Structure 1
Amino acid sequence: MEKYNIKLEQDTAKYLQIYNHIKKMIVDKEIKEHEKLPPIRKLAQYIGVNNTTIVKVYELLENERYVYKTVGSGTFVSVLKKDKEEVMVKKEGVIHFDSGNPSTNMFPIQDFKSAVNMALSEEGSSIFEYDEGLGFDDLRQKIVGYLEDKGIRTTKENVQVISGAQQGIDIVCKGLINYSDVVFVEEPTYSGAIQVFKSRGAKIISIPMLDDGIDIGILKLKLEKIKPKLIYTMPNFQNPTGISYSPYKKKKLIELAEQYDFYIVEDDFISDFKFESEDNKPLKSYDDKNRVIYIKSFSKILMPGLRIGIVDIPNELLKKVLWAKHSSDISTPGLIQKSMYYYMEYFNWNNYLDSVEKVYNQKYILAKKLINEKLSDRLKVRNSNGGINFFLELPRGYSSQDFTDFLLDKGVSVVPGTYFFDNLLDDRFFRINIAKSSIQDLEKGISIISDNLDEFFRQYKNTLALKSNKIFY
């Protein structure tokens, strides 16, 4: 316990001093990866502060990904992302099943370069001025037609151009969420959304996912007791599970939003493609109650570095979200907006989407076949019908943190399940993302996982129990 000894100054908040002290020990490796931090009450007594101060410290450390919690066991030091990146840089030939970005060989570089030149030629110096408000008028009108093809009827006055889906989630929260408001999320879900909600001081309640979408029964039980401001969803090919909602659940969710008076934030990153789904229509296309705030990202279907997307906003929320966007960055860069418009208008956007769909579909079918053949006899594989993510589960008694470190040494990088849960009961899950990998890497990477699984099971048997029960002084 001596290393937790800290002399508190009077002119700085106590929780910040303790947070910085523990954070420094983690970064400097004075506290090792997966080491258990002292229990809240014990540390509070040792330092001489209230229990709530340590609770706040641990929450802040968790928000910043320095620690992770295991219910019933305690709080443990995470594997720092920087450390993993350094290992990857040193280790050549790592197969990346951790990145959700598309392969660079899919990028339409030459056509988009022509679109940029066309935008510069047609728009002149005005392209570098602030484009305040909802965004470039012609692009928003083009987006209206694009959304209509997806079954979404809207107007350009309801479309806000944004700098990627992450900003879309952020400005919706900034405009609508106040401290202590309740937000429902799917479990598991996108970690970036969890962090945004926590940064706004929202109370997060997780609703489990079934194979056909969110668990409506549990959702209704929660709604009878608690009123959320929002529910955050990915109804098509969800990240990280790949699950898609059935038409029944899409309609039912909108009915519940109307009945219990809350809004739905739909994060749509890849519903453009059908894969094996019976219904890849956006939730927004079913929205006859004006309850869905629709966020559309182009990162997974075009080029993520463009940082462009849109939010389609119900009329009564427009002013709040527009203010939040303006306070964030005034506007998405005009060069990006206008280049995007010229690309969609003059370079056969639909043909491009068809070509991307063929690539993703080929990868998905192969990955699903390989995972079922090589891994499903020893790992539980979450059922999905498309997308770029597969969610797998280790047997009880094993940790995904251990598994991701083990696999990295073998030349494969995956994402541990700790990233996708607000409160993780059991750290046995991991995600394989196929967006970046080539066909050859898919075959090789999944074979490496299969060939080394038994070694992992032997080497790490019972280590989770030992780790959780170890006491550090």
Structure 2
Amino acid sequence: MHIELRRGSSTKLYVQIALTIADRIRSGLIEPGTRLPSIRKMTADLGVSLVTVSKAYAELEAIQLITCSQGKGCYVRGTLNVDQMEDVDRTKRNNANSESSTSWNWQMALVDYLPRAQLWRHFDTSPQVRYELHMSAIQPELLPTREIIDSAYRLSSDHTERMAAYGSFQGDRELRQIFAEHFAERGLQVAPERMLITSGAQQGIDLVARTFVGPGDVVYMEAPSYTGAIDVFTSRGAKIITVPMDDEGMRIDLLTRLCDTYPPKLIYTIPTYHNPTGITMSARRRAQLLNLAQSYHCLILEDDPFADLYFRDPPPASIKSMDGTGHVVYIKSFSKVLSPGCRIACAIADGSVLTRLVAAKSTADLGSPLLTQKALQSFIQNQYGAYVSRLRDELYSRLCAASEVLEEHATMGMQWRLPEGGLNLWLQLPSNLDMRELHHQSLAAGVSFLPGSACYVGEMDTPSLRICFTVTNVELLCEGLRVLCRVIDRVTPGQGGTVADRLPLI
């Protein structure tokens, strides 16, 4: 496996090795029962001492990700003991040496450059899960899928010439004009020439990272943060530094102190209805963050998937709306609100930053599919406002239903805050709770959630989780939350079933 070591870093080499292997194990890139390279081989491959690799493996064993035995090697922990895993490993090697073997064991010798990939691991669930609360999405029945399909059919039938040519790398000009009108109504004045259509926000984040972030570059993020963004910046070899949050969002005072020591290349933030916590950054903090980026001549990547999904008052103006010097790249996703399958988002940038992003987009896919751009164009222009207004009312009713269940069934030590918009609830659990056991028992009971550890760099073992209150109907949502609360009560040591402590609204 490829392990990028930063030898001038303040992080010790054995810690870097342990963290990289831990990320790969937790991401499912190294399966349970897999035998790790021997200490001597890892030492030779990485050009470090035997002591360094030994300490790295000891760290992994201490956090129960691997198990080691003298003379037998180190294996990724699973349900088998070391002797059983050695027998399985020996059988695999014998099969691989057989002429009739169809084993893919040889593939482990292929070096890859994926240090972490949590997003795919937590995207799907097993068939046994009845209450899918892990995915940040809107129930399909609430989306305008039929209207979008009908629009796509008309376009493909009546305008065949559009499907017979490449679209613009930057995105369809008419759609960008409609986006400009959409943003203007929300206080962001931007010309279509400053926009780039991407295949979802995830591609937008990846384009920014591939264009501007390299090994060792400092990237700041909120702690916790969006799993997919952590995956992207980790894959670029960035030095990711996380900043705690309070009720106003990212702690700019702490960020400023950190920047004095580690000047930033990029600051990634989800200021509106933050994923996963639901916190909204105040207008004051947004202005402070922009001033800091200007002083350090770094980029802010403002990720905005949820701003249209407010429940009472609209959120503060975007950071991009205050940006007169081109320090902010703003990414607005329309996929979650309209059609996840269409994968449409808009990136807004200025100057050579935009030029370089368009160049990166052209090498990635020659431009987003024209059919999906055109299919959404008519709906956004003519129906989006009324649709999203109805959608906000429906999502808020589900948040209220979820809140009532938690108020009644959550136990002592659980804390949460009701977001002012978005799709997610962030639950803080008792500090002595075994999150791995909770996740295992919850899935066995038919309830999925996103473990909080997936939302932290280095996957710190945090007693927290994210649920989505909009992904299923009200009945299944409430049933699933009741089941989850019972499992939490059962797993929490010394729990007496007392009433939870809900944080105040923000």
TM-score by length of structure 2 reads 0.75
2:473: which partner in 1?
438
Which of 430, 433, 438 in structure 2 is aligned with 1:398?
Answer: 433
Cα distance in 2 for partners of 1:267, 1:233 equals 6
TM-aligned CA deviation for residue 432 of structure 1: 0.9
1:3 alignment counterpart:
none
Work out whether residues 65 and 77 of structure 2, in 8 Å CA contact, stay in contact via their aligned partners in 1.
no
Distance 1:88 1:262 in 2: 42
The whole-number CA distance in structure 2 between the counterparts of 1:249 and 1:210 is: 11
Query: Is the alpha carbon distance of 1:248 and 1:229 closer, same or farther for their aligned partners in structure 2, counting shifts above 3 Å?
Result: same
Helix, strand or coil at the partner of 1:119? helix
Aligned to 1:210: 246
- The correspondence of residues 270-349 of structure 1 with structure 2, limited to 5 A, is 270-276=306-312, 279-345=315-381, 347-349=382-384
Distance 1:398 1:55, change over 3 A: farther
Asked if the contact 2:137–2:468 (Cα under 8 Å) also holds between the matched residues in 1, the reply is no
Aligned to 1:295, what secondary structure does the other structure show? strand
Aligned partners of 2:315, 2:123: CA distance in 1, in Å? 38
Q: 1:404 to 1:312 in 2, by over 3 A?
A: same
Identity %: 27
Q: 1:319 to 1:87 in 2, by over 3 A?
A: closer
Please tell me the residue identity of whatever aligns with 2:176. Answer: R
Q: CA deviation at 1:302?
A: 0.7
The 5-angstrom pairing of residues 361-372 of structure 1 reads: 361-372=396-407
In the alignment, is the contact (CA less than 8 A) between 2:169 and 2:368 conserved in 1? no
- Number of residue pairs matched by the alignment: 422
Contact 1:127 1:334 in 2 (8 A): yes
In structure 2, what is the equivalent of residue 467 of structure 1? none
Structure 1 residue 366, shift from structure 2 partner? 2.2
1:354 counterpart (380, 389, 412) = 389
Give the CA deviation at 1:102: 1.3
Q: How does 1:30-179 map to 2 (within 5 A)?
A: 30=33, 44=39, 48-49=43-44, 52=48, 73=63, 75=65, 88-89=126-127, 91=128, 94-179=130-215
C-alpha displacement at 1:452, in angstroms?
Answer: 3.1
- Equivalence for 2:92: none
Residue 154 of structure 2 aligns to a residue whose secondary structure is helix
- Of the structure 1 ranges 155-164 and 389-398, higher mean CA displacement relative to structure 2 is found in 389-398
Query: Against the structure 1 CA distance between its residues 339 and 460, is the aligned structure 2 distance closer, same or farther, given a 3 Å change threshold?
Result: same
CA RMSD of aligned residues (A): 3.5
1:395 shift after superposition: 1.6
Greater relative contact order (CA < 8 Å, ≥ 6 in sequence): 1
Which residue identity is paired with 1:88?
S
Q: Cα distance 1:452–1:399, how it changes in 2: closer, same or farther (>3 A)?
A: closer
SS of 2:243's partner is strand
Instruction: Please give the residue correspondences for 1:8-27 in structure 2 after superposition, counting only pairs within 5 Å.
Output: none
Change (3 A) 1:212 1:74: farther
**Paired residues of 1:69 and 1:423 also in contact (CA < 8 A):** no
Are residues 27 and 423 of structure 1, via their aligned partners in 2, closer, same or farther at CA, if it must alter by over 3 Å?
closer
Q: Tell me whether 174-183 or 202-211 shows the greater mean CA deviation.
A: 174-183
SS in 2 for 1:323: helix
- Report deviation, 1:370: 2.7
Shift of 1:149: 1.3
Q: Is the 8 A contact 1:102 1:303 kept in 2?
A: no
Structure 2 residue runs of 5 or longer lacking an equivalent are: 1-16, 67-75, 79-117, 497-506
